[in-house]
Each structure stands twice: as C-alpha cells, then as structure tokens.
Amino acid sequence: MAKLELLDETEIKIRNCIETLVGGTVTAMERQVRWRPSWFVDVICRGETLKLYVRGDRESDVVPFPELKREADILSVLGENGIPAPRIYGMCDDPVAIIMESVPGTRDVASAATDEERRDVARQYIDALVAMHNLPVEKFTEIGIDLPQGAEEIAQAGIKAYLPLYQKNKVAPEPLIEFAMRWLCDNVPQHRTKPSFIAFDAGQFLFDQGEIKAVYDLEFAMIGDPMTDLATMAMRHSYEPTGEAISVLCDYYAEVSGVPVEEAVVRYHHAVFSTVACMQFAGAIQNPKPGDPHDVYLEWDLALRRTLLNALAKNVGVTLQTPAKLLEPNKRNQSLHSMIDDMAASFETHNELQQASKECVLRLLDYAQIMDQYADQLDELALTEAVSFVGKCESMPELQQKLEEFVQQAGAEHDQELIQYFHNQLTRKIQVCSEIGIGRSAIHIEDDILA
C-alpha cells in the first residue's frame, strides 16, 4: 500500500471522502494498475480495519451509462435481494467514484483447489444469474432503469442504449456495424416478450475458498432478454473461463430456472452484444481523445470485430473461408521505426503506472509499424473485393462510404457474401498483427461460443 504522504491531489480527495462516509481513518491506499482509475484502501473504523475498493470513472466517452451512481444503485439492489454483491458505502463526487467493500477472492477459476470446486463455482454463478433474472423488474425501474416493451425493444435493448453514444462519436463510415444493426433489426426473435434484469456483460464474479463472494462490473446492466447473459458469459469464457463447459452451464441454467435455453436466441444475443461492443469503441478508434487507453481500444476493436463476424456467420449459416496470407511487407520506414522503438525503450520508469504507460506506447509503436508495412496491401484487396457490391472506388474513404450505404439497404440475399467480405478484410489484419500485443486477444477468439 502507498504511503499516505505520497498521495496526489486526487487521492487526497478520495481519502477525505472515505473518512467522511465511514467515520474512520484511512491508513493505506494502493492504486490498481489498470487503464481505469481504481484503488484498494484500508480504513481503521471503530477499532477494526475495513477493506474498501474505490471504482473510479473511466474518464473517457465510451460508455452508454456514464453515471457511476447508476451502477452503485444496481449493486445495492442486488445485495438487498440476496444476490452476492459488494456493499456500497456511498459515492465520491470529486473525483467521481464508487466507495464499496473490497471483496476477497479472485476471478481466476484455475486457482480453485480442485476440479470439483471449480465446477461448483461455475454453477454457483449460474444460481446467482437465475436469481437475478427472477427479481421483479420494478426493483430496477424504481432506480431509473429503462423497461423495454415488446419483442423488438427487449431484443434490442442494448442497441437502443448504445446508439446515442455511437451516433454522437461516429466520424467515419462503419459498414460492418451498420450491416450488423440492419441484420439484427430484420431478425428479432418475436416470441421473446418477457423482460428480466440482466448483467448484459455477464460472467464476472469473485470467489474465495469455493464460494462466490460477489458479482461485479454491472455498469452495462439493463433490462432485456435473459438469454443475453448466457451469450455474453459464453463470449467471456474464451479468455476468462467460467469453470465449466458452456454447454453444461446452459443445461444447468435450464434446470435451475425451468426455462429452456434456446440456442438460436442465445446466438442472436451474441450478435447483439458483439455489435454494441463495436459501436462502443468505433468513435474512440476513428477519433482518439487525449488520455484514452489507445492500445487497449485497438486490441479490443480487433477482437470484438472478429467476435461479431463469428456471431453473424453462425446466425446466417455461413461457413467462413480463410483468405490467403499477404505478401512480404514493405520495409520503406524500417530504419525510422527502429529509431523510434529504441528511443521509447530507453525511457526510464519509476513506478508500476509509469511502466504500464511505457508499455502502452511500445504496443502502439508495434501496431504503427505493422500498419505501415501492410496498409497498401490491405487497402488494395479491400478495394478489389468490394467491386461486386459498390463498383470501382478510387480510395478507402470512398469505398467505406459507398459500402455503408449499400449494407443499409441490401437485402438478405447479400448477407453471406458480405459477411465473407468483412471476414476477409479483418482476418488479414489480424494475421499481420498476430505477433504483436495488440493482436493478442483477437487470435484467441473462439469461432463458436457454444461449441
């Protein structure tokens, strides 16, 4: 934990807020090394040590529900109704942050003592998910959560939530996203008319000694179709395993809830969540803001677009073909990139946060070099392969604009060909990024979340 005399101005404000909220004395603070500002805090209160966690604001324009108090209220409702959740002590207004209980445990199911414990933890999470889905939605509308009405609104609750953010930040055509939104609108599961409170970004929990202690990260939670949570849990499973096979957990969900798990509906919501995730970061990629975790957003964007294309392919019934690899890269700026890499690598760092920032810069430099080497080939192939849709285009901006207009009005007869086209362009980009950090997440995405 950091010495209190070394706290910066922000941390001093947080310390003062905590001491007012809980009536104790902060004895230690430790900044969590991640892209989001967060702290672990020790407080002496009435002779006992409280372990707190401070969840700070993202400080970026990539969330559909930017008010952190919304998430705090959701966690409070869950805790009051028997769902394992951290206790909320209150809000800090400056800087904006949730002051909550620091829950013991880990998300890493590989740390379970036995395979039996690991599988039991996974089932405990499903138990919590079913209990959450069964809570009366009125408990959440009372704290301001929107209630969708009818099959279309329930199916597209996520799209509705993210659309204003996407439209506000969109500065360039997004043909893949626009295609996905059109497809989702045309293929709503019309029989799904009962809404539930959902995590939306499901699969996040902490466990300790074989027992789930808390669900967490509910900033995207909303009211929608409960099958969404099975889809997003399955998505997360590819890089953060749940502890049991997804097919087994879906069967267990059906057993506990008494509600059959419809594979087609789960796959639809896989496409919904993948789409809104791409919508979320589209503006930040095209028009980056100072202070954003740029390398993280680029890595996520590659992975999420691959996830979206896999989801669309499974929904439409396309067997995706892998395009041929690109030719050898050009080396025209190789010496310049070597110079920049050498200078950046030489910068000294004096703490974990500075080292993390340096690593972000190095990751961006790797990405810039790869794009410099392969951009001409990527663009040429994208232009050539789109001729059947939009005719000959002279530039990538012209292609992107015409392709977006095309997908917005194209009929279902073009779906398979368009999905394969988008897959070709993205797969080539992932191939050339496979050896650098920003490509790491994308190469681990599973083709089928329910396999």
CB atoms within 10 A of CB 89: 20
Q: Is residue 374 part of a domain?
A: yes
Q: How confident is the model at residue 444 (pLDDT cuts 50, 70, 90)?
A: confident
Give a yes or no: residue 303 inside a domain.
Answer: no
Supply the CATH number for residue 217's domain: 3.90.1200.10
The structure tokens listed for 97 are: 């942050």
Residue 4 has pLDDT above 70, yes or no: no
Final residue belonging to a domain, choices 101, 136, 162: 101
Instruction: Say yes or no: 133 and 193 in one domain.
Output: yes
Is residue 130 domain-shared with residue 245, that is, in the same domain?
Answer: yes
Does 210 lie in the same domain as 330?
Answer: no
Residue 304 belongs to a domain = no
- Rg of the Cα trace of the chain? 23
Residues 146 and 235 occupy one common structural domain = yes
140 and 221, same domain (yes or no):
yes
**What distance in Å separates the CA atoms of residue 274 and residue 291, rounded to the nearest whole number?**
25
Phi, psi of 105 (to 5 degrees): 125, -170
Q: Are residues 272 and 140 in the same domain?
A: yes
Using CA atoms, how far residue 365 sits from 178, 288, 333, 338, in Å, is 30, 16, 13, 10
CATH of the domain at 46: 3.30.200.20
367-393 per-position pLDDT tens digit: 999 999 999 999 999 999 999 999 999
The pLDDT tens digits for 90-126 are 999 999 999 999 999 999 999 999 999 999 999 999 9
- The answer to whether residue 412 is domain-embedded is yes
What span, in angstroms and rounded, lies between the C-alpha atoms of 233 and 168? 29
Same domain, 86 and 126: no
Which residues make beta-bridge pairs with 56? 97
> pTM, whole model, 2 decimals?
0.91
Q: Looking at the domain assignment, is residue 311 inside a domain?
A: no
Q: How many domains does the chain have?
A: 3
Is 449 within a domain?
A: no
Range of the domain at 234: 115-292
Which pLDDT band holds residue 162 (cuts at 50, 70, 90)?
very high
Of 101, 125, 148, the domain-final residue: 101
User: Is residue 239 domain-shared with residue 268, that is, in the same domain?
Assistant: yes
Does some domain include residue 403?
yes
Do 165 and 28 lie in one domain? The reply is no
| Average pLDDT of every residue of the chain | 93
What pLDDT does 14 receive? 94
Which pLDDT band, with edges at 50, 70 and 90, does 89 fall under?
very high
Q: What is the pLDDT of residues 186-231, one digit of tens each?
A: 999 999 999 999 999 999 999 999 999 999 999 999 999 999 999 9
Q: Which of 42, 49, 99 is nearest to 75 (CA)?
A: 99
Q: Are residues 123 and 272 in the same domain?
A: yes
User: Is residue 13 situated within a structural domain?
Assistant: yes
Last residue of a domain, one of 292, 311, 334: 292
**Cis bond leading into 95, ω under 30°?**
yes
User: Is 148 in the same domain as 267?
Assistant: yes
Local structure of residue 259 (DSSP, 8 states): -
- Both 125 and 219 in one domain: the answer is yes
287-342: per-residue pLDDT in tens? Answer: 998 888 899 999 999 999 999 999 999 999 999 999 988 888 888 888 988 999 89
**In this structure, are residues 216 and 432 in contact, taking their beta carbons and an 8 Å threshold?**
no
